[in-house]
Amino acid sequence: MSSSPTTPPKTYACGFMFSPNRSRVVLIEKRRPLWQAGLLNGVGGKIEPGETPLEAMRREFREETGIDHADWTRFATHVGPGFEVSYFYADSAIYDCAATKTDEPVVIVEVAELTRYPLVASVGYLVPLAIEREGLQLPVLFRAA
């Protein structure tokens, strides 16, 4: 009996940088993949071979916003069929230095106004989870059905 090789899941890192008082968050207006086009999401992308999720988070944030921030905390992981996303947060006084460096515009949004924007669905619960993280056992694990 032969066994078929298992395809490793596609892995991604995604992060939310907050102002020090957590009232504002850096997001990006997605152009791709198509199902995210026109929606706001955290900043991130694919984890490259040999990279850790944290290294990918730092690299992606630097490439997309121009900010090289080393102090990211993993707070959630979403695992589904064929994918795994590691979510990070950071609180930083330099959040407002984030600038668009690709074809996907960077936006800084008031957290209290978040629901007024077109969002990737998970952003609606991930941002509050990242803000209210005290007392949680991190990272929180979400499994797709």
What is the average per-residue pLDDT within 52-79? 97
The answer to whether 64 and 43 have CB atoms below 8 angstroms apart is yes
pLDDT the model gives residue 56: 98
pLDDT the model gives residue 3: 44
Name the one residue in this structure whose structure tokens are 């694919």.
46
Cα–Cα distance between 106 and 99 in angstroms, integer? 6
Sequence-ordered strand ranges (E) for the chain: 10-18, 24-29, 40-41, 43-46, 73-80, 83-91, 106-110, 140-143
pLDDT the model gives residue 67: 98
pLDDT the model gives residue 145: 64
pTM, full prediction = 0.90
pLDDT the model gives residue 1: 45
pLDDT the model gives residue 103: 96
Cα–Cα distance between 103 and 125 in angstroms, integer? 26
CA-wise closest residue to 102 among 63, 69, 68, 67: 63
pLDDT the model gives residue 139: 79
What is the average per-residue pLDDT within 60-80? 96
Cα–Cα distance between 59 and 43 in angstroms, integer? 10
DSSP code at position 65:
H
* Structural tokens at position 74: 């993993």
If you average pLDDT over every residue of the chain, what do you get? Answer: 92
| Domains along the chain with CATH numbers | 10-143 (3.90.79.10)
pLDDT at 4 over 60: no
Q: Which of 4-13, 29-38, 59-68, 102-111 has the lowest mean pLDDT?
A: 4-13
Helix (H, G, I), strand (E, B) or coil at 128: helix
- Model confidence pLDDT, tens digit, residues 129-140: 999 877 777 778
